[in-house]
Structure 1
């Protein structure tokens, strides 16, 4: 049985494994973990935008 990936144990920007890391924090807008190397970078801002933009994919508003 393959081990299932846990998104809360990897940096949402660079996908680095953070399961053993003491140096992780969470992005304030997405509440996803981010490593110290990516924190505050343009790459984090882009990943944040992509994560928030994808939240509505597949949903259709029924309030016409």
Structure 2
């Protein structure tokens, strides 16, 4: 397993960095806003943290209320 990770670190590292950036941006926006199109704050925290890479993108597209 460790050999796989070390041999593919050039692919894994950018994915990990992108995921961390998406999570930070999404959580920052989530705590800044009080209203959401669907669900509540607890729901979106779970989506963002537990559905990696896709969860933050789903929040940024469908969860934010731009009004």
TM-score where L is the length of structure 2: 0.29
Higher relative contact order, structure no. (Cα contacts within 8 Å, ≥ 6 residues apart): 2
The structure that is strand-richer by fraction is 1
The structure that is helix-richer by fraction is 2
